[in-house]
Amino acid sequence: MKEQSKRGFREGLLWGAALALPFALITALLGYGYIGLKKTAVRRGWNLVEAVVASRTLAPGETLSVEDLEVRSVADLMVTADTILPAQLNASIGRRLRVPLAAGQVLHRDFMEGMTSDAEQGEAPACPPAETKPLSAEASKNILSIKRALAQEASR
Amino acid sequence: MTSFAKGIAAGLVVGHALVLVAALVILPFAHDKATSAWNLVTVTVIDKDIPAGTPLTYQLVAQRDVPEQFVTEAHVRPEQTATIISRPMPHALKKGEPLVYSSFALAGEVGGSDCE
C-alpha cells in the first residue's frame, strides 16, 4: 500500500514537471523578445558601415599585412572620405604606416605612406603655429607617448 | 488528496520554481551581453568643417557620445582635449568626426619635414 502510494507520488511529480514545460516555453519566449527589444533600442540611431581597422596595436614604420587588418562594422560617424573601405583593403597591404594605430582603430589613407588623403592632395597641410613644436619621432612611437608629449606641452 | 495529485502539485511547484530561477540567472546575463558594447562613452569631435593645417581651438571642438565598442585608446576624450588645443590638424576634418591621437603624430611628421 505504502509502495503504491510512493509510486503514485513519483508519477504525479513527473506529470507536474511536464505540465510546467509550457510555462518554461512562455518564459523563454518572453525573455527572448525582451532581449531583442533591448538590442534594437540600444542600436537605434546608429548606422553601421564596414571599414578596415587595425586588428592589433601597430607602430609607425610597420608594413601592413593581411593579419594586421580586419573588416569591422563601425558607426558611420567614424568613417570619413579618407577611411579605407573593405574594397580598398588590398591596396593597403604592403604599405608602411606613418602613425601608430590602436587595436580597432579605423585606418585612414593618410596614415600610410604613398596614400595621401584627398585633403592633402587638394591642400597642403600648413606649418604648425610658431608656439607649437612638432612631436619628436620618439613621442610619435605609440598612442600613449603621443598623449604624454601633448599633455606635457599643454601643461607648459 | 491522492498521492498522485500530491505528486502533480509538487511537480508543478518545483517545475515553475526551476523555470523562474533559470530566468532570473539567464536574463540579466543575456541583457548585459546584448547591451554592454553599446554603453556610451564621450569623445572629442570636431564641431565644424576645417581645412588641413587649422590649429585646434576650444571653439572648434565638441563632445559626442559614442558606443564604447567603436572607441579605442587613440580617441581623444573630453578630459584630454587640453592636450590637443593649438595643435594643427594635418588633414581636413568634417563636422562630427572624432579626433584621434594618430593624427598628431602625422602633424609632427609634417612639422618636422618642411616647417622648421
> What is the per-residue pLDDT across B27-78, written as a single tens digit (0 to 9) for each?
999 999 888 889 999 999 999 999 988 999 999 999 999 999 999 999 999 9
Query: What is the structure's pLDDT at B113?
Result: 43
Q: Which residues pair with B45 in a beta bridge?
A: B62, B98
Q: Does A55 touch chain B (CB under 8 A)?
A: no
What residues of chain A, 87 to 146, have a C-beta less than 8 Å from chain B? 98-105, 108, 110-111, 117-120, 123-129, 131-137, 139-140, 143-144, 146
Cell of A127: 606649418
Lowest mean pLDDT among A57-71, A84-98, A141-155, B98-112: B98-112
Query: What is the structure's pLDDT at B56?
Result: 93
Q: Between the CA atoms of A135, A110, A147 and A127, what dihedral angle is there, to the nearest 10 degrees? A: 40
Tell me the shortest Cα–Cα distance from B62 to chain A, in angstroms.
14
Q: Provide mean pLDDT across the span A131-147.
A: 79
ipTM of the prediction? 0.73
> How buried is residue B9: exposed, middle or buried, by Cβ count under 10 Å (0-12/13-18/19+)?
middle
Lowest mean pLDDT among A49-53, A98-102, A146-150, B38-42: A146-150
| Cβ within 8 Å, pair B97-A77 | yes
Q: In three state form, how does the secondary structure of A17-71 look?
A: HHHCHHHHHHHHHHHHHHHHHHHHHHHCCCCEEEEEEECCCECCCCECCHHHEEE
Q: Does B6 touch chain A (CB under 8 A)?
A: yes
Lowest mean pLDDT among A29-33, A40-44, A137-141: A137-141
Among candidates A9, A18, A127 on the partner chain, residue whose Cβ is nearest the Cβ of B4: A9
Q: Tell me how far apart the alpha carbons of residues B29 and B32 are, in angstroms, rounded to a whole number.
A: 5
Question: In this structure, are residues A46 and A71 in contact, taking their beta carbons and an 8 Å threshold?
Answer: no
Q: Does the pLDDT value for residue A74 go beyond 70?
A: yes
Q: Does the pLDDT value for residue A125 go beyond 60?
A: no
pTM here is 0.75
Q: Tell me how far apart the alpha carbons of residues B85 and B80 are, in angstroms, rounded to a whole number.
A: 10
Q: Tell me how far apart the alpha carbons of residues A98 and B112 are, in angstroms, rounded to a whole number.
A: 13
Q: Does B83 touch chain A (CB under 8 A)?
A: yes
Q: Does B79 touch chain A (CB under 8 A)?
A: no
Q: Please identify which residue in the block is written with the cell numbers 510546467.
A: A20
Tell me the shortest Cα–Cα distance from B60 to chain A, in angstroms.
16
> Nearest CA to A145 among B86, B77, B83, B46?
B83
The packing angle between helices A21-43 and A2-19, to 10°, is 30
Class of domain B39-114: alpha beta
What are the extents of the domains in chain B?
A: 3-36, 39-114
Tell me the shortest Cα–Cα distance from B98 to chain A, in angstroms.
7
Q: Looking at chain B, which residue has its C-alpha nearest residue A156?
A: B83
Interface-testing mutation among B97, B101, B113, B115, with chain A (most A C-beta atoms within 10 A): B101
Local confidence band at A122 (pLDDT 50, 70, 90 cut-offs): very low
Tell me the shortest Cα–Cα distance from B56 to chain A, in angstroms.
11
Q: Please identify which residue in the block is written with the cell numbers 574594397.
A: A87
* Average of per-residue pLDDT values in chain A: 86
| Cβ within 8 Å, pair B34-A42 | yes
- What are the DSSP E strand ranges found in chain B? 40-46, 61-67
Q: Tell me how far apart the alpha carbons of residues A89 and A95 are, in angstroms, rounded to a whole number.
A: 11
Q: Does the pLDDT value for residue A126 go beyond 80?
A: no
Q: Provide mean pLDDT across the span A71-86.
A: 91
> How buried is residue A78: exposed, middle or buried, by Cβ count under 10 Å (0-12/13-18/19+)?
buried
Q: Which has more confidence, B70 or B106?
A: B70
Local confidence band at A145 (pLDDT 50, 70, 90 cut-offs): confident
Q: Does A148 touch chain B (CB under 8 A)?
A: no
Query: What is the structure's pLDDT at A85?
Result: 95
